[in-house]
């Protein structure tokens, strides 16, 4: 199995985002790749758009803590509730994402902080 990071490159991902006829799954994968592995300036734009979308779709869901890098961290119970899944299902999905993407999504509270 090819790692998610190696399934795309910048040119491919940008072409997919421009294509008005691409299926939603492919578009979503391209956007996700750009958020995770694209150039830093593009990552910032994509993450801001993702934050706006999350706030619009799940207005009651707000970050409770932040990583040292400033990434928002959400309470897994509230995420599960917003998505209509169990806590265990949410944890399993995040663990799958960590494995597939090679990027940490689950944090211990000691690895995060509140904004003052």
Q: For the chain, what are the domain ranges? A: 1-57, 59-116
What is d(CA 76, CA 71) in angstroms, rounded to the nearest whole number? 15
Q: Which band of pLDDT confidence, cut at 50, 70 and 90, is reported for residue 25? A: very high
The DSSP symbol for 111 reads G
Reported pTM:
0.74
For the chain, the average pLDDT equals: 91
Residues 6+ apart with CB under 8 A from 17: 27, 30, 31, 34
Tens of pLDDT, residue by residue over 93-109, are 999 988 888 889 999 99
Q: Which band of pLDDT confidence, cut at 50, 70 and 90, is reported for residue 43? A: very high
Tokens 């734009």 label which residue?
A: 45
pLDDT score at 5: 87
pLDDT score at 116: 63
């Amino acid at each position: 199995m090819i790692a998610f990071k190696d399934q795309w490159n910048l040119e491919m991902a940008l072409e997919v985002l421009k294509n008005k006829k691409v299926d939603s799954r492919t578009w979503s994968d391209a956007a996700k790749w750009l958020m995770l592995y694209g150039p830093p300036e593009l990552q910032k734009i994509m993450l801001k758009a993702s934050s706006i979308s999350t706030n619009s779709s799940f207005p009651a869901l707000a970050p409770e803590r932040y990583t040292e890098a400033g990434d928002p961290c959400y309470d897994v119970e509230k995420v599960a509730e917003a998505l209509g899944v169990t806590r265990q299902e949410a944890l399993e999905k995040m663990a799958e994402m960590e494995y597939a993407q090679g990027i940490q999504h689950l944090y211990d509270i000691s690895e995060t902080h509140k904004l003052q």
